[in-house]
Amino acid sequence: MAGVIPGFLLQHTLTVEAYRGSSSKGDLYEAPVEVSCLLDERLQMVTSPGGEKVTSSSSYITTLAHNPPPKSRVTLPDGRVTKVITVARPDGGALPVPSNTQVYLQ
């Protein structure tokens, strides 16, 4: 069984609106969902799904069940709105380490 990220680490709450695609009127999103997470606000280089190196302004980790698509809209605790660049899902499998989802933001 995969290790579960300890709940006491999930100190922050943000809102995620999963990206559904675009229409003639603009981008389409799912209804907002609150996500408990551990927010890390620092600059880091990541690779986008298209293979470009881009700067991420922040990231968060949360449970492995969370998997927002790129371009999803995220509202941070301070009210800043940003979008998902890419998602990593380190899964420790049977190892005694917590599996999680790490989401990198613009």
Over 70: is that where the pLDDT of 27 sits? Answer: yes
Tell me how far CA of residue 103 lies from CA of 26, 95, 96, in angstroms.
23, 22, 22
Q: In this structure, how many other beta carbons lie within 10 angstroms of the beta carbon of residue 42?
A: 8
Number of structural domains in the chain? 1
Domain that holds residue 8: 3-105
Q: Residue 88 to residues 27, 31, 47, 67, 104: CA-CA distances in angstroms?
A: 23, 23, 11, 9, 8
Residue 93: which H helix or E strand, with range? none
Average pLDDT over residues 65-91: 94
> Is residue 2 very low, low, confident or very high in pLDDT (cuts 50, 70, 90)?
low
- The CATH number of residue 76's host domain is 2.40.10
Whole-model pTM: value is 0.90
